[in-house]
Amino acid sequence: MTDPFRQSCSAPSPDQGVAVRPEVSPAQTDSVISTPRRLLLKVGAAATAVPALGFPHVARAQANTIRIGHLTPRTGFLGTLGEYAVQAADLAVEEINAKGGVLGRRIELIKEDSVNPQTASTKAERLIERDRVACIVGEISSASALTIAQVAQRTRNLFVNTGANSDALRGSNCNRFMFHVESQNSMYVKTVGRALLAQNRVKGQRWYSLTADYAFGHDLVRVARRFMDAHGGQFAADELVPTDAADFSAYLLKIRQAKPDMVVSNLAGVQITNFLKQYAEFGLDFPVAGFGFDTAVAWGAGQGNFFGTWPLVWHHLIGTPGSQAFVQNFSKKYGKPPENQAWGDYISLQILARTMNEIKSTDAPAIIAHWEKGAKFDVLKTREGYFRAYDHQLMHEMYAVEALRTKDLKNRWDIYKPSDPVPGPNESLEVIAATREENVCNMPA
């Protein structure tokens, strides 16, 4: 039986028709049902009153370009990170097209603000059905990534997750059509956990954690508790913080009273910015660490308001030639260095372009098979990365950075000391990732 959805990751040929879908206004988005609906406008006198002469330019545009959907939050508490993602994606496409594009065709990036999980699902369907994108790249919210992945699975299209961390996306919600360039929560926890163990801040210690109250935070604190249980520590308390919370005073007063050995952030986006600012204003001196982090939110906190130990998937001080070229090109274009979310979207598009050119196909099953066989990629670090076959997580180095003291700051960007890669050069890249037992993935066909 023929699958009614698109089996390929490639742009349609001129005789496939054009998928159309009514636009959804912002006021309507929350009520949109995510069930896919396809209205095919076929070229033929019996099918439509629109003259056939109106179609050739559309067919040619689709045949001469490869469309890729970029879907990520550009508003709300993750909006700051989303803007870095969009800027990096634009830069990647410029560079790819300047080098001849993919299979002799230019990449055309179609960008959307994912807003929230329901809207993300609706827009993913629209990108696939109406805009006929080759693949979807992006997202930061784990909840939204799940809804996009469900669309990708249903329509058999490729989704490359660039910013959503939840272990569940690689475990109970794993998906054959979803791959993860962003690290999973376990990789963040185990990376910074190594640094905290070296500082003797785990065994016998009482941590007070603040956790973002949505899918990412819930998953992260679960992984953090597993780490603490394994290494002899305990949580004095864990507070769930609404994603729209701007005032942390009530939480900080509780922390002052609890007198923990360390304060741990399981926050996200501008939550971290507000927390860091207000923690400094309260004059609290308990050590701080984070299990999730984006450099942009620390930049937003202002000079002197960043402290502690934090994990990063990438940072702009990495000294490899590829990394420094990316920093130079991004800084020249945007007047600021890129941060870790920018890296995720940039490297995802570069991996996609290289793969399509190498296998001479934009077909989703062909790309999936190539990645599952262990293809390796330059990810701008000291070692190449690869997608782990059974859960589609990119295996690559991470970093545990230590904030610089205010007196050591030389500019507004270089706010931490560069760290050696984690894992070390003689270790498997997989030692910081969740094991099969820790995060069971039964990949649907």
Q: For residues 43 and 313, what is the distance between their CA atoms, to the nearest angstrom?
A: 48
- The length of the chain is 445
Tokens 């094991």: give the residue. 435
List the structure tokens of 246. 């701007």
| pLDDT tens series, the chain, 445 aa | 433 333 344 443 333 333 333 333 333 433 333 333 333 333 333 333 333 333 333 333 446 899 999 999 999 999 999 999 999 999 999 999 999 999 999 999 999 999 999 999 999 999 999 999 999 999 999 999 999 999 999 999 999 999 999 999 999 999 999 999 999 999 999 999 999 999 999 999 999 999 999 999 999 999 999 999 999 999 999 999 999 999 999 999 999 999 999 999 999 999 999 999 999 999 999 999 999 999 999 999 998 899 999 999 999 999 999 999 999 999 999 999 999 999 999 999 999 999 999 999 999 999 999 999 999 999 999 999 999 999 999 999 999 999 999 999 999 999 999 889 999 999 999 999 999 999 999 987 7
CA torsion 316-321-322-328 (nearest 10°) is 50
Q: Which domains does the chain carry?
A: 1-183+314-398 (3.40.50.2300), 186-312 (3.40.50.2300)
| Closest to 291 measured CA to CA, from 325, 331, 258, 263 | 263
Query: Within 13 Å of residue 167, how many CA atoms lie on the same side as its CB?
Result: 25
